[in-house]
Amino acid sequence: MTHKIIFAPLHGVTIRVFRDAYFSCFGGFDEVVAPFIAAVRDAHEVRDNHYKDILPVPKTGPTLVPQIMGNEPQSLASTALAIGSMGYREVNWNLGCPYPMVARKKRGAGLLQHPDMIARGLDALCDAHARGGPAVSVKLRLGMVDAAEFDSVLPVLNGHPLASVTLHPRLGSQMYDGQPMLDEFERVAPLIKASLSYNGDIRTLADFERLQQRFPYLSSWMLGRGAIMDPFLAARIKGLTLPEDKRPLLRHFHETLYDGYEAYLHGPKHLLDKMKEVWAYLAYSFPEPQRVIRELYKVKSPREYRVAVAGILAKP
């Protein structure tokens, strides 16, 4: 079976600067979902800065799918149409973000307790698609506080012509803690009419192989944090040839990312904070990841940071 591998959106991390650096070095991905853009009512009239993370439309690399966040039908449709006018053929609606500041506003995973609102949002998005806008996909969880919530959301999903559904088998209330609810995923997966992707805790090739053995009917998989912890993970899954010494590519990725953030961010503190955020995952590509994280979190200046990173990348 040929597997489709999708890079998950990590808000604040997998922004354009990161994506450009990452995909210049690492392969195996077919698609990437961008971090969410807030839906706005007059989407064609807002400044381009609102869409800076998805402009211009990339001409190379994995297919980029913009993601939108919101709950008001007109805003969702307006934003989808604006994104479609840029040349994108698909938008993804975020129904899975678990952060309380999002969920309590009935956005992201907070919408999973309100299937009527999801229905109105999908009505608007699919109507926009019928009028020439982009196709619609969704990324969601099993529920906000109870997996039984999915049973009310399912007929809403199946009642709309969705391009795909990506399901993360956790509750919003779990955030990213605990184990994915694989039994619940197995129960609902055959009931979903749209093309289905699995997302959640694929951090190693062994993780993928266990899930693929359990769900052999799936051909689409979304990787998130695991793809930063091991940037070669998608290539491993695809069976691509990997370099014997991976340090040169990791070094090139780091330098490209550092230079990109340096040009994009304001001041050394923001730069170091962003690089440390990436290293919280990337450290797992090296022996003793917790030592790497501790060492980098102590640095206070770009000079100290570069010295520390040079030592990390020099070790076999």
Domain ranges of the chain: 4-238, 247-314
pTM reported for the whole predicted model:
0.96
pLDDT category at 314 given cuts 50, 70, 90 is confident
Mean pLDDT to the nearest integer, 81-104: 97
Residue with tokens 């007929």: 155
Q: Is the pLDDT of residue 1 over 80?
A: no
Q: How confident is the model at residue 67, as a pLDDT?
A: 98
Supply the DSSP string of the chain, one letter for each residue.
Answer: -PPEEEEPP-TTTSSHHHHHHHHTT----SEEEPPPEE--TTTTTS-GGGGGGG-SPPSSSSEEE-EEE---HHHHHHHHHHHHHTT-SEEEEEE----HHHHTTT-GGGGGG-HHHHHHHHHHHHHHHHTT--EEEEEEEEESS-GGGHHHHHHHHHTS--SEEEEEEEEGGGTT-S---HHHHHHHGGG--S-EEEES---SHHHHHHHHHH-TT--EEEE-THHHHSTTHHHHHHT----S--HHHHHHHHHHHHHHHHHHSSSHHHHHHHHHHHHHHHGGGSSSHHHHHHHHHT--SHHHHHHHHHHHHH--
CATH topology classification for 4-238: TIM Barrel (3.20.20)
Q: Is the pLDDT of residue 303 over 80?
A: yes
pLDDT digits (tens, 9 = 90+) for 273-296: 999 999 999 999 998 999 999 999
pLDDT digits (tens, 9 = 90+) for 184-228: 999 999 999 999 999 999 999 999 999 999 999 999 999 999 999
Q: Is the pLDDT of residue 182 over 90?
A: yes
pLDDT category at 132 given cuts 50, 70, 90 is very high
Supply the DSSP string of 228-257, one letter for each residue.
Answer: HHSTTHHHHHHT----S--HHHHHHHHHHH
Q: What mean pLDDT, rounded, does the chain reach? A: 96
Q: Is the pLDDT of residue 47 over 90?
A: no
Q: Is the pLDDT of residue 65 over 90?
A: yes
Q: How confident is the model at residue 43, as a pLDDT?
A: 86
Q: How confident is the model at residue 316, as a pLDDT?
A: 66
Q: Is pLDDT larger for residue 135 or for residue 178?
A: 135
CB 171 within 8 A of CB 141: yes
Residues near 225 by beta carbon (within 8 Å), at least 6 away in sequence:
10, 203, 281
Q: Is the pLDDT of residue 307 over 70?
A: yes
Q: How confident is the model at residue 114, as a pLDDT?
A: 98
Q: How confident is the model at residue 44, as a pLDDT?
A: 85
Can you tell me the distance from the alpha carbon of 224 to that of 255, in angstroms, rounded to the nearest whole number? 22
Q: Is the pLDDT of residue 315 over 80?
A: no
pLDDT digits (tens, 9 = 90+) for 256-277: 999 999 999 989 999 999 999 9
User: Within 13 A of 96's CA, how many CA atoms are on the CB side?
Assistant: 24
Output the CA–CA distances (angstroms, integers) from residue 25 to 9, 29, 167, 235, 248, in the order listed. Answer: 18, 12, 28, 11, 10
Q: Is the pLDDT of residue 168 over 90?
A: yes
